[in-house]
A and B are shown apart, each in its own frame.
Chain A
Amino acid sequence: MEIVFYGAAVVAVISTVMVITRLNAIHALLYLIVSLLSVALVFYSLGAPFIAALEVIIYAGAIMVLFIFVIMMLNLGPQTVLQESQWLQPGTWVGPAILAFVLLAELFYVLAAGVTMPGGEPVLGQPQDVGLALFGPYLLGVELAAMLLLAGMVGAYHLGRREGIGADSAQYQESARQRVRQMEYGVEGGEWDVGSSMQRVGSRE
């Protein structure tokens, strides 16, 4: 089982490195999905198959897909890749790399100095056990998580709205037409500049 663990660990690290260094968002996302899958494998090797399944289904399956949808909706185009390459100068990596390295060193120090207990027999955590624990001692947490998800949902809906525009309003249809024009002719958003959208903000309040 250790082979699985270490192999998945290596894959996870490499793919995470790729995630943070890619210029294209979709590429990064795909690498992230790989990383999540390998972490799921790590979970399995640690005796948590239910969690491994959850990781794949929810994290890689739902959240990452949400990301992909949003990126596709933004419709960024090739100039963003150019932008990213301009932003990612080698010099910018130095500081954060040092910081993360220091953090890692601290962790290493703690782990090296700490009492090492031999890894016992990994217990296979069956889904029933997790469910029993969730609706037993951790019931309050479940309720709070539910409320959190509700809040998230409401917030996402609210924040995702364009100001005062319904899906069938004339303004929305006009802006949709503009986007099509943009795609076809590569024209910069004409009236859709920051200034007018600022005015719309004012009108909403």
Chain B
Amino acid sequence: MLALLWLIPTLPLAGFLILALAGARLPRPVIAGVGVGSVGLAALVTVLVGAGFISAPPAGEAYTQILWTWLDVGGFRPQIAFYLDPLALVMILVVTFVGFLIHLYSTEYMIDDPGYSRFFAAMNLFVASMLVLVLADNLLLLYLGWEGVGLCSYLLIGFWYTEPANVRAARKAFIVTRVGDTAMAIGLFLLFASLGTLQIQEMMEAASEQWAVGSAPAIAAAALLLGGAVGKSGQLPLQTWLPDAMAGPTPVSALIHAATMVTAGVYLIARTYIIFSLAPTVLTIVAVIGAVTLLMAGFSALVQTDIKRTLAYSTISQIGYMFLALGVGAWTAAIFHFMTHAFFKALLFLAAGVVILALHHEQDMFKMGGLRRQLPVTFWSFLLGAASLAALPLVTAGFYSKDFILYEVFISEGSLWLWLAGIVGAIITAIYAFRMVFLTFFGEANHHLDHRPGLPMKLPLVVLAVLSIIGGFVELPATLGGLHLFSDFMEGAFGPPAETTGPAIRTELLLQIASVIAALGGVYIAYLFYRQRPALAGQLANSTLGRPLHRLWFIGWGFDWLYDRLFVRPYYGLAQANKDDLIDLLPRGIARLNQALYYGLSRTQTGNIRLYALAIALGAVITIGLVVLL
């Protein structure tokens, strides 16, 4: 069973090749079949492989499948090899399964689009790259997948490339993540130079032997890898690309910018956790970045009018939770939250897509309303997704994962401020989640529906809604029975958790009550502002304190403005100043010199005999002079 591992990234890659080479000539159903089928088959194989892994775990809880040697240069021998351990298994299950559902959804969503085959080709390539990234045995192969998902993100954000705004958004995404990618590449160089190998397990072993805790190479390597993770996952300070990336089609936002690509950073840190453990300073930075980001993005999500931008900021915020968890060493909690987040965020995006399509590409929430009765399935699934996002207690998966994170943050040696940030973030999350629900689905129903969702769109919604509920039941806190299926499983990847004298059950219960209050309180506030007394929200926004705050949050805390002034404009100025390209001066100069000589010399051919005689005389005099003198 496990030997089928290599099929998992290869099937979507094959789908991509078929669609890229022949897609334009195939009929729509065939394209859809290839596109969805490749990911679906990959999901099936993943289930089989997972079953094999769980039922008969290989030695050391890890299975490596080496395909071939990629390079052999001066002692550097990276291989095309796939490494399966619990972490990777969780990731590929989520990626293939959620990916399959989103592909199925897209068959109906993109049905009218002329670029149908291009869409599925890019989506398949994306899934293949993501799987390579997750299954990579060494950091070089991981980087290959990393770049691949970046490329596909660019292709898919700018999918409707005839619109310049989309192209700008795609470029922005690529360039901003490129900053992170470069940091990561330098990190890879550093790791190889110090440790001699990029094979992840070997590297981590060598690091733990050679590097002391808190030593300079560890901090440098971890910081550089963090740079890459921050770029891909849209955390501070490289988060500016994510809200603009909503220019792409909604399934793209669901797959790439909610469930999978943006979590690549989280995966990277989790995968190389030993390097990070050796650099506690960097881990603290990770936690702080997570905390600050989740707050900033939360506030921004609170005041957005576009439903997709709200969800984008929400994604940034939730990944901030994951970073927060990673920063305090709670690897398992972070991955757990990744899993539940993938379910409910993808669900929210897909449901938003249904609404957008139904209202003929209307994305402003304030222009929606009352869709509760017109789109019932969508309403209920969106509601469940929002509930999971807000971490409504006991019944939603989001509750269990967020609670797990908050618990781990509290009992870690980190400061209390991190936990407070998490709680405040939870309140805000609940507010904006239900703000979305109330604005979109409640209120007056006076819209003409353009498009009612069919089965390919409703089925993924239902499945994801179910998962958003039951997905959390694999990990119950001690107060509720202490079921540790997930964390036990993840021990295979991260080793047994550090034995801490955990606080008493009572503390845990108090913490949980705090988060329950936060969630329910947030829901109530949202209800207050957007159902009962809608004018109140407007009044608050227009108050003397409210207006600048509203403006600040709306523009994402001014990062775009800052980067524009700091980087974009000077660069444009430089490019403008170098319009005539200084470096090009040499070849152009040679050409110009030639031309000048040509024109100059051709002017001496006047046909004037006296001039010729003069030239002869001059030449003779000079030559004789040379002979005489030398």
Contacts and interface: CB of A to CB of B under 8 A. Distances in A.
Interface stretch (B332-340, B360-368, B621-629): B621-629
A103 B627 CA distance: 12
A94 interface: no
B617 interface: yes
Contacts of A110: 628
A99 interface: yes
Contacts of A99: 614, 617-618, 621
Nearest to B626: A106
Nearest to A101: B621
Contacts of B620: 103
A96 B628 contact: no
A96 B620 CA distance: 13
Contacts of A102: 621, 625
Q: Which of A103, A106, A109, A110 has the most chain B CB atoms closer than 10 A to its own CB?
A: A106
Contact of B624 (A95, A96, A103): A103
B621 A96 contact: no
B625 A106 contact: yes
B536 to A, nearest CB: 97
B533 to A, nearest CB: 101
Nearest to A103: B621
Contacts of A103: 620-621, 624
Interface string A79-111: 000000000000000011001001100100110
Contacts of B621: 99, 102-103, 106
B614 A109 contact: no
A102 B628 CA distance: 12
Contacts of B625: 102, 106
B628 A95 contact: no
A106 to B, nearest CB: 5
- Interface size of A as a range: under 10
B621 to A, nearest CB: 5
Interface string A99-135: 1001100100110000000000000000000000000
A95 B613 CA distance: 13
A106 B628 contact: yes
A109 B614 CA distance: 23
A103 B628 CA distance: 11
Contacts of A109: 628
A193 to B, nearest CB: 21
A95 B611 CA distance: 12
Contacts of B624: 103, 106
Nearest to B625: A106
A109 B621 CA distance: 13
Nearest to A95: B614
Contacts of B618: 99
A192 B623 CA distance: 46
Interface in A118-174: none
A96 B617 CA distance: 9
Contacts of B614: 95-96, 99
A84 to B, nearest CB: 14
A101 B620 CA distance: 13
A122 B614 CA distance: 38
A105 to B, nearest CB: 9
B609 to A, nearest CB: 14
Interface in B595-630: 614, 617-618, 620-621, 624-625, 628
Nearest to A110: B628
A99 B618 CA distance: 7
A96 B611 CA distance: 11
A9 to B, nearest CB: 23
A111 B614 CA distance: 25
B608 to A, nearest CB: 13
B392 to A, nearest CB: 102
Contacts of B628: 106, 109-110
Nearest to B620: A103
A103 B625 CA distance: 8
Contacts of B617: 96, 99
A64 B380 CA distance: 122
B629 to A, nearest CB: 8
A144 to B, nearest CB: 24
A7 B505 CA distance: 138
A96 B621 CA distance: 11
A59 B548 CA distance: 109
A154 B178 CA distance: 85
Interface in A173-201: none
A102 B620 CA distance: 11
A102 B621 CA distance: 7
A95 B624 CA distance: 18
A96 B625 CA distance: 16
B199 to A, nearest CB: 81
Interface string B346-364: 0000000000000000000
A99 B625 CA distance: 11
Nearest to A106: B628
Q: Which of A95, A99, A109 has the most chain B CB atoms closer than 10 A to its own CB?
A: A99
Nearest to A109: B628
A96 B624 CA distance: 16
Contacts of A96: 614, 617
A95 B617 CA distance: 11
Nearest to A98: B621
A99 B616 CA distance: 11
Contacts of A95: 614
A106 B617 CA distance: 14
A117 B620 CA distance: 27
Interface string A29-61: 000000000000000000000000000000000
A106 B624 CA distance: 8
A31 B468 CA distance: 121
A99 B615 CA distance: 11
A128 B617 CA distance: 38
A72 B319 CA distance: 109
Nearest to B617: A99
B617 to A, nearest CB: 6
Q: Which of B614, B621, B625 has the most chain A CB atoms closer than 10 A to its own CB?
A: B621
A186 to B, nearest CB: 30
B616 to A, nearest CB: 11
Nearest to B628: A106
B154 to A, nearest CB: 69
Interface in B500-529: none
Nearest to A113: B628
A143 to B, nearest CB: 30
Given A99-B618, A103-B624, 4 more contacts: A96-B614, A99-B617, A106-B625, A109-B628
Q: Across the A-B interface, give the 8 residue pairs with the lowest CB-CB distance, nearest first.
A: A106-B628, A103-B621, A102-B621, A106-B624, A106-B625, A110-B628, A99-B617, A99-B621
18 contacts: A95-B614, A96-B614, A96-B617, A99-B614, A99-B617, A99-B618, A99-B621, A102-B621, A102-B625, A103-B620, A103-B621, A103-B624, A106-B621, A106-B624, A106-B625, A106-B628, A109-B628, A110-B628
Interface of B: 614, 617-618, 620-621, 624-625, 628
